[in-house]
């Protein structure tokens, strides 16, 4: 009887351990997907904010706008001309001008500028160069980047990284309390911390 009870206890422990490992595996996957989104959407915002068209024609601080709160004229324009695109970021300045970052069905990216009344103005010039990322394995990051992160963000762990057409690196780092996205120049030198969009508009319009 005692032997049977011991076997049942051992079996139960194995089952519970297996369930715990599965749960941890799911969490790891979810965390990875969240980090990928943070990297992707932060790059979209950076591509919009750093574009020459934005700087010249949409001056001032950009306040993030939820996709569902966009001007009706803007949403109608997007539905007509970019029906398969995904909004990655939308921001508006004090004058009401709006910039929208899109991920297109073919995997490319584009940014659009709209007037305060919601009418289309023009396409951003270099948005795609900075918004579209190619994945970089963490162990393939330049030594200058890993050294900087170790020395400056000792409480953070690198989670995801990518590089854009301009050769810049974007790295998501995380601690138990927060996430950050760090921008590095092509030579691996530190550039700045990027603003992470408060709301990730991962909603494909139909």
pLDDT, one tens digit per residue, over 156-195 is 999 999 999 999 999 999 998 899 999 999 999 999 999 9
Q: Is residue 90 part of a domain?
A: yes
Could you give the 3-state DSSP secondary structure of residue 102? Answer: strand
E-assigned strand segments in the chain: 63-64, 86-92, 98-103, 109-114, 120-123, 134-135, 157-163, 169-174, 179-184, 190-194
* CA–CA distances in Å: residue 75 to residues 68, 70, 88, 111: 9, 7, 14, 14
Q: Which domain holds residue 67?
A: 49-127
Segment holding 206, helix H or strand E: none
- In the block, which residue shows the tokens 């993030």? 64
Task: Provide the number of structural domains found in the chain.
Answer: 1
Give the residue among 36, 27, 22 at the shortest CA–CA distance from 138: 36
Query: Per-residue pLDDT averaged across 83-106, rounded?
Result: 94
CA distance 49 to 98: 11
CA distance 51 to 58: 10
Q: Is residue 68 part of a domain?
A: yes
**How would residue 153 be classed by pLDDT, with cut points 50, 70 and 90?**
very high
CA distance 137 to 160: 8
Output the six-digit token pair for 190. 């530190």
Q: Is residue 103 part of a domain?
A: yes
Q: Is residue 144 part of a domain?
A: no
Q: Is residue 182 part of a domain?
A: no
Give per-residue pLDDT as tens, 19-77. Answer: 333 332 223 334 577 899 999 999 999 999 999 898 889 888 899 999 999 999 999 99
- In the block, which residue shows the tokens 């909004």? 87
CA distance 73 to 107: 25
Q: Is residue 142 part of a domain?
A: no
- Predicted model pTM: 0.79
Per-residue confidence (pLDDT) for residue 63, from 0 to 100: 93
Q: Is residue 197 part of a domain?
A: no
Q: How many helices (H) and strands (E) does the chain have?
A: 5, 10
Q: Is residue 137 part of a domain?
A: no
Looking at per-residue pLDDT, the higher value among 85 and 25 belongs to 85
Looking at per-residue pLDDT, the higher value among 30 and 118 belongs to 118
């Amino acid at each position: 009887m005692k032997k049977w009870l011991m076997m049942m206890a051992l079996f139960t422990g194995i089952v519970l351990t297996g369930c715990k490992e599965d749960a941890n595996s799911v969490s790891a996957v979810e965390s990875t997907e969240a980090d990928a989104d943070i990297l992707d959407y932060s790059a979209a915002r950076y591509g919009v904010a750093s574009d020459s068209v934005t700087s010249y024609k949409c001056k001032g601080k950009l306040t993030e706008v939820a996709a569902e709160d966009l001007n009706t004229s803007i949403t109608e324009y997007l539905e007509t001309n970019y029906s398969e695109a995904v909004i990655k970021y939308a921001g508006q300045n004090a004058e009401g001008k709006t910039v929208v970052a899109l991920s297109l069905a073919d995997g490319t990216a584009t940014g659009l500028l709209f007037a305060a009344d919601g009418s289309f103005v023009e396409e951003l010039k270099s948005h795609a160069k900075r918004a579209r990322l190619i994945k970089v394995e963490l162990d393939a990051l330049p030594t200058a980047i890993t050294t900087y992160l170790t020395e400056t963000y000792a409480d953070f762990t690198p989670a995801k990284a990518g590089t854009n057409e301009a050769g810049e690196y974007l790295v998501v780092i995380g601690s138990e309390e927060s996430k950050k996205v760090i921008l590095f120049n092509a030579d691996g030198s530190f550039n700045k911390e990027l603003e992470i969009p408060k709301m990730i508009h991962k909603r494909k319009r139909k």
